[in-house]
């Protein structure tokens, strides 16, 4: 187990643009406010959604498209660094018109209908992702 203490930095509230790609827009807010490490929280609605499930045995993500319009019930995750670039890692819980919930790891292809986002910057040695051999995932190194 590894853990590290961070100082709090800027706290930014954003309204993401209609029609934007969820993942790209979060990264753009982080970059615009010069955040290297941050917590991500959001709610809203998506006109299209695309998610992924990680197969822990095969060590590969399987992507799938979500049918129809959805509410974004909870978007939780973080911004850190990978190969010198901003890496947004967020999981979404969604629901359709009957309320049934589904979710997954957010990949490109989630189209914003409306999204109210909060980014809480974490100031300290930036968290950097690197391949973790055990899981096959890009986890934080040095933690």
Judged by CB under 8 A, the chain residues 19 through 58 that form the site for a copy of itself are 20, 25, 28-29, 32-33, 37, 39, 41-43, 45, 47, 51, 53-57
> Considering only residues 82, 107, 114, 126, which one is a binding residue for a copy of itself as defined by CB under 8 A?
114
88 by Cβ neighbours in 10 Å (0-12 / 13-18 / 19+) ranks as buried
| Contact call for residues 26 and 88 (beta carbons, < 8 A) | yes
The yes or no reply on residue 78 touching a copy of itself (CB under 8 A) is yes
The yes or no reply on residue 4 touching a copy of itself (CB under 8 A) is yes
Whose CA is closest to 117, among 42, 17, 63?
A: 42
Distance from C-alpha of 112 to C-alpha of 81, rounded to nearest angstrom: 24
Whose CA is closest to 34, among 101, 121, 104?
A: 121
> Considering only residues 22, 79, 88, 127, which one is a binding residue for a copy of itself as defined by CB under 8 A?
127
Distance from C-alpha of 116 to C-alpha of 129, rounded to nearest angstrom: 26
Closer Cβ to a copy of itself, 55 or 108, answer by number? 55
The yes or no reply on residue 134 touching a copy of itself (CB under 8 A) is yes
The yes or no reply on residue 86 touching a copy of itself (CB under 8 A) is no
Q: How many residues bind a copy of itself (CB under 8 A)?
A: 77
């Amino acid at each position: 187990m590894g853990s590290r203490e961070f100082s709090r930095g800027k706290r930014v509230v954003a309204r993401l643009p209609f029609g934007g790609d969820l993942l790209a827009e979060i990264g753009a807010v982080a970059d615009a406010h010069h955040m290297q490490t941050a917590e991500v929280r959001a709610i809203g609605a998506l006109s299209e959604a695309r998610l992924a499930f990680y197969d822990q045995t095969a060590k590969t993500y399987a992507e799938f498209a979500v049918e129809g319009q959805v509410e974004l019930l909870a978007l939780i995750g973080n911004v850190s660094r990978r190969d010198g670039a901003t890496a947004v890692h967020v999981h979404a819980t969604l629901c359709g018109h009957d309320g049934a919930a589904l979710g997954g790891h957010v990949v490109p292809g989630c189209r914003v209908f409306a999204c109210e986002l909060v980014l809480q910057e974490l100031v300290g040695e930036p968290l950097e992702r690197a391949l973790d051999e055990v899981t096959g995932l890009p986890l934080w190194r040095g933690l």
